[in-house]
A and B are shown apart, each in its own frame.
Chain A
């Protein structure tokens, strides 16, 4: 099975499972966590483009997330825009931030880029917190509307969930099409060997800026949905810890394989909530689980799955196709 076929099959499977899971969850709290998980799936789809495909360690996800959330919140509550134009604005706004952040920083490589993007995330949080005249400061923004179709408003959490899931699936399709296009190959080429990409005439800086923008467009949509789900946002959630969490989702799921990132997003949204009963111990246990995955299964959940398929093929006596993708 080639890689994009495996990816598509896995994605379909995951989204069907997510659709079926909702009625099985009875607790209202976990229904809410599930909706958050789907929003994180959208965010991680964006991060997959810049981190998984293009190989740039982006540690400023909280910045993108914060900006997107505030654009939708302020556009709907202060500018009187409807949900849809506000969501579009949030997507375009964060995409534009990707461009603005991308152009000056993408000449930096590796850890230098990570550190700069950490700075970007932190600066964003401080601006959201202190520019009270616009953002409402530490008090945040209230009464953010839910999505609507004409006069039908998705106040019901179940409706909201399926709406988000549909958007997440649509964005996963877009990301997959992008990945299979020549630009997708260029993203992966820059990840594999930037100098070689340059030497054969690929504008690697341009490719990276494009990946950053795409990431922003996706994250803007996820972030807009986030404010709409909560109907209230405040700046203190958009922390560096959250940026790390998004990167961990991709790592735990398996770098460069979209279904892996999606599974990572769902697992790492639920895990902290399910470990809450441990109280003070929960961060330690959570950390141990993540460490365990990274040490014993460095290919992440996706790597484990691919290993399993490979073993099954061997067990069936088929010739091992070494290194085929």
Chain B
């Protein structure tokens, strides 16, 4: 579904990604783990076309989307839940969801259907639909960010550190909803520092170190890998 072929990305003269190649097949949850500054977010931003034109090739459903403007990428079916949630604090929950639907505003008939779907996933959002986004708790904000991403009805959902800053119980809850979203037919590329959680819910994983993919494979095997265990799982 998504394939990165030898992608290089730069911030000014600094190279953040070195020939990153990875693949996400339809129906999978694939995780990308690594330490701070390894280039995880940069990888997502390159896919979304937010980072200025990366080198290499990014293919989505066989089509080259490298360096395309973000709205057209979202239109193709990739949606991103950015790091730190970044919901709109001064907008109500409903307005936040409206914003998620914005790229599909030419099909207003589908709005109710999608809204029902995200409210079934996150009932708390329905209870709080008239509340300002900024007044939600951290966990609720993360749910709102996920819901907002889903409103674009993506084929592929990119998640950037959804567990960041959440209490362990909430992390569990968010991860469960990611599995549920995946079961409903959305492919997921998950970027996480919480490597254990990410490996537990994903099918395959990639390890990114200072801009280079060093290890990849099935998540179960990665969890057993001695190097991954010592570097990322702390065992």
Contact = CB atoms under 8 A, between A and B. Distances in A.
A200 B80 contact: yes
A203 B91 contact: no
B222 interface: no
Contacts of B73: 201
B105 to A, nearest CB: 6
Q: Which of A199, A203, A323, A325 has the most CB of B within 10 A?
A: A199
B70 A195 contact: no
A200 B134 contact: no
A196 B100 CA distance: 10
A39 to B, nearest CB: 30
Interface size for chain A: under 10, 10 to 19, 20 to 34, or 35 or more residues?
A: 20 to 34
A200 B132 contact: no
A46 interface: no
Contacts of A193: 86-89
Given A192-B89, A193-B86, A200 B103 contact: yes
A186 interface: yes
A191 interface: yes
B58 interface: no
A319 B208 CA distance: 50
Interface in B38-55: 48, 50
Interface in A174-195: 182, 185-186, 188-189, 191-193, 195
Interface in A273-325: 322-325
Contacts of B100: 200
A186 B79 CA distance: 17
B135 interface: yes
B125 to A, nearest CB: 14
A129 interface: no
B130 interface: yes
B89 to A, nearest CB: 6
A2 interface: yes
B99 A200 contact: yes
Given A192-B89, A202-B71, A182 B98 contact: yes
Contacts of A322: 131, 135
A256 B71 CA distance: 26
Contacts of A186: 99, 102
B162 interface: no
Contacts, number: 87
Contacts of A199: 48, 50, 70, 80, 82, 86
A277 B34 CA distance: 69
A169 to B, nearest CB: 26
Contact of B86 (A195, A203, A325): A195
A189 B102 CA distance: 11
B102 A323 contact: no
B2 to A, nearest CB: 16
Nearest to B134: A323
A318 B86 CA distance: 32
Contacts of B186: none
Contact of A189 (B69, B99, B132, B134): B99
Contacts of A191: 90
B105 A200 contact: no
Contacts of B156: none
A192 B132 contact: no
B69 to A, nearest CB: 7
Nearest to A203: B71
Nearest to A323: B135
Contact of B90 (A182, A192, A196): A192
12 contacts: A188-B90, A188-B91, A192-B91, A197-B88, A199-B48, A199-B80, A200-B102, A200-B103, A201-B70, A201-B74, A325-B92, A325-B132
Interface of B: 48, 50, 69-71, 73-75, 79-80, 82, 86-92, 95, 98-100, 102-103, 105, 130-132, 134-135, 148-149, 152
Given A185-B98, A193-B89, A256-B90, 7 more contacts: A188-B90, A189-B88, A197-B99, A200-B80, A201-B71, A201-B73, A203-B70
Interface of A: 2, 182, 185-186, 188-189, 191-193, 195-203, 256, 322-325
Which 7 pairs show the lowest CB-CB distances between chains A and B? Answer: A201-B74, A323-B135, A196-B86, A192-B88, A201-B103, A323-B132, A199-B82
